[in-house]
Copies of this chain bind each other. A is one copy, B any other.
């Protein structure tokens, strides 16, 4: 299989995922004449949506640029890519969990929801680490000599540590854990800007 077909399929999956996130913006239950307050109470959905949209968007940019760097796709890379896509599509679920838990206002539920988001984020970073590691082991899959990805090859490891810390800390401090998660996601966006700077 040629890289451009795999890219087209992956772009498709990520385009669909980023778009169906919006399906969680349900019209809220409201009593007649009180739509304003019902809508205002939906701010956690908006927050979760913004973060997940930025997250999936950044992952798409990373994924797309990375595969543009490859000349050949072997069967293992195909399976690894399916695993990468699998972990990313999971994002839809913790996005809704966090939105619902924050709206409910219960600290225990919020902790659970954030930890599940952390686990999914950790899995995504681990799948990228697997991808980078496999391609490094098989240099014949890559096109250009100069390894522009050396600067970012440790990013997944760093991210796994950040999300791992978030999982450990969240049960003790919800705010610190939630901040770590956001920091991790914003870290991806900056890492992308940094890497694309060198292209």
Q: Residues of A with Cβ closer than 8 Å to B?
A: 1, 5, 7-9, 11-23, 25-27, 30, 32-36, 39, 50, 53-54, 57, 60-61, 64-65, 68, 75, 78-79, 82, 85-86, 89-90, 92-93, 96-97, 100-101, 104, 106, 108-109, 112-113, 116, 189, 192-193, 196-197
Contact = CB atoms under 8 A, between A and B. Distances in A.
A80 to B, nearest CB: 11
| Copies of this polypeptide in the complex | 4
A13 B22 contact: no
Given A11-B12, A15-B12, A192-B75, A33 B106 contact: yes
Given A33-B109, A35-B101, A57-B86, 6 more contacts: A9-B60, A20-B20, A26-B96, A27-B97, A35-B109, A39-B116
Given A9-B15, A19-B13, A30 B109 contact: yes
Given A19-B20, A89-B22, A61 B35 contact: no
Contacts of A34: 109
Nearest to A4: B5
Contacts of A5: 7, 11, 64
